[in-house]
Amino acid sequence: MSLVSVVERASEMFAKCFGVPPLWKAAAPGRVNLIGEHTDYNEGFVLPMAIERFTVLVANRNSKREVTLHSVTTGETATFSLRTKVEQGTPSWSNYVRGVIAGFQERGIKVGGFNAVIDSTVPFGGGVSSSAALEVAAATLLEEMVGKSLDPIEKALLCQRAEHQFAGVPCGIMDQFTSVLARENHALMLDCRSRTATPVPMTDPSVTVLVVNSNVRHRLVDGVYASRRQQCETAAKVLKVRALRDATLKDLAAARRTIDPVVFRRARHVITENERTIQAAQAIGRRNWSHVGSLMYASHASLRDDYEVSCPELDAIVKVAQEISEEDGMIGCRMTGAGFGGCAVGLVRTKTAKAIARRFEDGYEAMTGNMPSIFASRPAGGARVIS
């Protein structure tokens, strides 16, 4: 479904709910991380791109000092007052928008009462950041409503803060930065220490990204995530660096005897993954797809064996990919996101994308008994106002 169609669908719903057409319309994309996993909290590099899946907000003012939100996705409506500082509330999804409004209020920007409809083609809770798409679409809508644009970095940080404080999710900067700053036909190299974003041209139309959702989500994730972070901090301490971003494989090798073997492997993943991410950005810029592909496979192996955050289902997807040759259009594949389920990302030749998607379906079903959900995307542009 195209962005134009989603905007139309949302506008029709708005007219049905509120009896007038919407005045303001904004959209923001989801994202997928091409490479650079578990590097963000080590102050390293990530290389995401926005996907051609958008969350749309359409709105008009109301005569009350309150906000009414209707989500087509959930079928639910939320109403809350603007007379005081916006607080957390129900339904829980409304917190993503409440948090963004609160961010504007904190900056002394007055937000008037409005009604809005939310509609989206970003898979919900599927690891491609429907949450950031919602926050950033809301922030873009508010900018239009109040007639004041925020600095893009400030806007992304405002949205990240909304997710931290209102949704209770301690996310990094990748999702919101990508949804705000992405450029069509470009990936985005993010330095999670300096919080700078560099567009990486991915203009070659002969390559396409496939997002393959395993449709499994193993629990235990929270504890494991905290323990990985802890192990990275331990490694940084032993190596006497501020963060693993600052360590080299040579430093790590020199400390081998003083470092716990498990912590050693965790650190090796982070150090090599940062290196792979820098290399991938260069290789994408040079259209050296073969090299990008091998870096993606190496990233997966490292996440599986050293960082131990993969799972049989994600390994199955990558295994299917590895059985398809580069001549047949499969360039590279890896798990993407925190792990233990969620999505894998594949890089394929555009003309073979459909055939490869079918092979993922057949191969994954044969190996796991489940069906994956798959979509193809070229790198999309970031958040925008729709006129």
Does position 131 interact with Mg ion (CB under 5 A)? The reply is yes
State in angstroms the smallest separation of the CB of 310 from ligand ADP.
Answer: 18
Answer with the entry of Mg ion, ligand ADP, none that 71 interacts with (C-beta below 5 to 8 A by kind).
ligand ADP
State in angstroms the smallest separation of the CB of 242 from ligand ADP.
Answer: 28
Contact segment (CB under 5 A) with Mg ion among 31-39, 40-48, 121-129, 297-305 equals: 121-129
Q: Which of residues 344-363 bind ligand ADP (CB under 6 A)?
A: none
The residues, ordered by sequence, that sit 6+ positions from 300 with a Cβ below 8 Å of its Cβ are 310, 314, 318, 333, 334, 335
- Annotation says 362 is catalytic: no
Answer with the entry of ligand ADP, Mg ion, none that 118 interacts with (C-beta below 5 to 8 A by kind).
ligand ADP
**Total of residues contacting ligand ADP (CB under 6 A):** 18
Cβ nearer to ligand ADP, comparing 28 with 247: 28
Query: How far apart are the C-alpha atoms of 186 and 198, rounded to whole Å?
Result: 9
Q: Which of residues 106-135 bind ligand ADP (CB under 6 A)?
A: 118, 120, 124-127, 129-131, 134
Cβ nearer to ligand ADP, comparing 168 with 312: 168
> How far, CA to CA in Å, does 241 sit from each of 232, 266, 306?
11, 15, 20
Q: CA torsion 150→156→162→167, rounded to 10°? A: 150
Does position 71 interact with ligand ADP (CB under 6 A)? The reply is yes
CB 204 within 8 A of CB 133: no
State in angstroms the smallest separation of the CB of 141 from ligand ADP.
Answer: 13
- Mark 259-298 with x for binding to ligand ADP (rule: CB under 6 A) and - for no binding: ----------------------------------------
Q: Which of residues 198-217 bind Mg ion (CB under 5 A)?
A: none
- Mark 187-226 with x for binding to ligand ADP (rule: CB under 6 A) and - for no binding: ----------------------------------------
Q: Which of residues 38-57 bind ligand ADP (CB under 6 A)?
A: 55
Cβ nearer to ligand ADP, comparing 301 with 338: 338
CB 372 within 8 A of CB 364: yes
The DSSP bridge pattern shows strands 66-71 and 114-120 to be parallel
**Reduced to 3 DSSP states, what percent helix, strand and coil does the chain have, rounded to the nearest 5?**
45, 25, 30
> How far, CA to CA in Å, does 212 sit from each of 50, 308, 337, 371?
15, 20, 12, 10
Among residues 350, 315, 299, 343, which one has the least CA distance to residue 329? 350
Does position 74 interact with ligand ADP (CB under 6 A)? The reply is yes
Query: How far apart are the C-alpha atoms of 23 and 146, rounded to whole Å?
Result: 13
State in angstroms the smallest separation of the CB of 234 from Mg ion.
Answer: 27
Q: Which of residues 128-187 bind ligand ADP (CB under 6 A)?
A: 129-131, 134, 169
Active-site position among 40, 119, 175, 306 = 175
State in angstroms the smallest separation of the CB of 5 from Mg ion.
Answer: 24
- Helices 353-368 and 312-322 pack at an angle, to 10 degrees, of 140
Among residues 357, 360, 46, which one has the least CA distance to residue 208? 357
Does position 73 interact with ligand ADP (CB under 6 A)? The reply is yes
Answer with the entry of ligand ADP, Mg ion, none that 170 interacts with (C-beta below 5 to 8 A by kind).
none
Cβ nearer to Mg ion, comparing 93 with 289: 93
Q: How many helices (H) and strands (E) does the chain have?
A: 11, 12
E strand map for the chain: 24-35, 45-61, 66-71, 76-81, 114-120, 186-191, 196-201, 207-217, 330-336, 341-349, 373-377, 384-385
The CA radius of gyration of the chain, in Å to the nearest whole number, is: 21
3-state secondary structure of 60: strand
- Helices 94-106 and 130-146 pack at an angle, to 10 degrees, of 40
Which residues contact Mg ion by CB under 5 A?
A: 129, 131
Active-site residue list: 175
Which residues contact ligand ADP by CB under 6 A?
A: 55, 71, 73-74, 92-93, 96, 118, 120, 124-127, 129-131, 134, 169
